[in-house]
Structures are given as C-alpha cells and as structure tokens.
A = this chain, B = another copy of it.
C-alpha cells in the first residue's frame, strides 16, 4: 500500500519504537519520501540525539533536529529536571518521567514543520498497550489533536501511530518483519542514559521483556 509522491515525517527519538516507525514509514511511503525529525529539548541523555542520527543514517533518510529550550523552564519531570530522580518501580499515578504536554508539543511542532514543506503525514511511535502512564500518547488524545491541527492549520495532517495497539513483543516482531532488528543496536532506551544499558530501569526492563517474548536477541544487549 505504497503511496506515491506522498511525503512522511517520522518523529525519531532514537529509541526502539520510533526506529521501528522509520522502517514502517519506508515500507509504506518509500525511502525517498521519508524524513525524520528529532527534538533537542534538553533531554538529560544527549546520547539519544546521537542514536537518532545514527538510525537515520543507517536507514538512509534525512534527520532534521529542532531545538526546544522551553521544557527545562517548565520543570517537574525527571527527564528534563536534574532535581527529580527517576524511579525504578512502576505505579498507577502519572510517572515522574511525565513532561506535561510533551507529546502534544512534539506533534504540534512536527505539524508546523511539515506545513510549509507540504508534508501531510506524521508518524510517531507512541503506544498505549504497554501503557506507560503518558496520557498524551493515547489514540484518543491523538485523534483530538488531529482535529485541532486540522482547524488550526487549515490542513488535514494524518498522525500515524503504527505501534499504538502493539505489545512490546509485537513491536519487536514488526521490527523483524521490516528488517529493522539490526538497527536496534543503534538505538537508545535506558532512562539512566547508560550504554550498555543499565538493565534495571523501567525502560530497560520493558525492552528486555519484549525481545525475550519475541524470541529475538536484542543486538544492543549483545553489543
């Protein structure tokens, strides 16, 4: 189901999920029609930006980096505020890694970036199945944002979320189907910014479980 002359912009964090989305978009839109957008938003782990660049180079698609210097001044999240620790356990409350509105901001800036470039399709790796506690990653939120963007930009922007209803295991199997497993060795997942990964944080544990359940070795763990 490849669409000709239809460009897509993938939001690429450098992690496992967004990397899988790059290969999904190449499969769907064709390599020449895919570009990637990475946000330099003051994440504590600069290794994420390098990972995004390496993934894009490996996949053979452009990687644009947009700075956002705003989140650090809003405060309150473990991902952008050094004074907030990252918890290793999960809870039913909103997690300490919640940056209010972060995904809404990323998608709105991506739509703004797409606007003058005649790109009508965004792709993001958010998922609500292995529910991470981020309400702005749910499909209902994405649907509402699509409507907001259509009104606010006077253009229908489709936000593709190919991983939305997949488990981590299914995401790993999709990556294999798309020939993206080797690229996983370039990605970064660990909340503690370690390479090799710490193996103890919630992100590492979720990732390891997904690869184990899919029966596929994680090239990052093997490195």
Contacts and interface: CB of A to CB of B under 8 A. Distances in A.
Contacts of A70: 66-70, 109
Contact of A116 (B100, B113, B148): B100
A1 interface: no
A48 interface: no
A148 B152 contact: no
Interface stretch (A14-22, A52-60, A136-144, A193-201): A136-144
Interface string A66-83: 111111011110000000
Interface string A208-222: 000000000000000
Given A67-B73, A69-B67, A145-B148, A100 B105 contact: no
Q: Which 6 A-B pairs have the closest CB atoms?
A: A136-B152, A101-B112, A100-B115, A144-B148, A76-B116, A141-B151
A94 interface: yes
Interface in A126-182: 135-136, 138, 140-141, 144-145, 147-149, 151-154
A152 B74 contact: no
A125 to B, nearest CB: 17
Contact of A68 (B68, B100, B147, B151): B68
Given A70-B66, A100-B115, A135 B108 contact: no
Given A75-B116, A101-B109, A104-B148, 14 more contacts: A66-B70, A67-B70, A94-B154, A99-B112, A100-B111, A101-B149, A101-B152, A104-B149, A104-B152, A136-B152, A141-B148, A144-B152, A147-B148, A148-B148
Contacts of A99: 112
